[in-house]
Amino acid sequence: KNEVEQSPQNLTAQEGEFITINCSYSVGISALHWLQQHPGGGIVSLFMLSSGKKKHGRLIATINIQEKHSSLHITASHPRDSAVYICAAFLNTGNQFYFGTGTSLTVIP
């Protein structure tokens, strides 16, 4: 059983669409990270959240601690947003990160 579940697995959107990627976790966490991985492997940390909401440009991340759920939103999506998005939870039960399986996003011009 995965401590961290992510959906959808694959997502195709038209340029300009609003996109939502979801992440659920089953146990208590200290923090949740959203990562972006482009083809070729490089991973960039987008957000670290322990409560509430954060915004950076067209990206918004929210977390609901009570519901054990986080979302990553992309407004006005662009083809350069095409990447794999991964949520990573730092659980209270173990001193390490647990990763979702990733969402592969393709934005079509």
- Reading the block at residue 2, the tokens are 């995965």
Beta carbon of residue 15, minimum distance to other proteins (angstroms, whole number): 27
**Is residue 88 a contact partner of residue 4, using CB atoms and an 8 Å limit?**
yes
User: Per rule CB under 8 A, is residue 88 in the interface with other proteins?
Assistant: yes
- Alpha-carbon gap, residue 89 to 91, rounded angstroms: 6
Q: Which of 21, 23, 33, 103 binds other proteins (CB under 8 A)?
A: 33
User: Per rule CB under 8 A, is residue 95 in the interface with other proteins?
Assistant: yes
Q: Which of 1, 39, 96, 109 binds other proteins (CB under 8 A)?
A: 96
**Is residue 105 a contact partner of residue 21, using CB atoms and an 8 Å limit?**
yes
- Alpha-carbon gap, residue 101 to 56, rounded angstroms: 23
Q: Site residues (CB under 8 A) for other proteins?
A: 30-31, 33, 35, 40-45, 48, 50, 86, 88, 90, 95-102
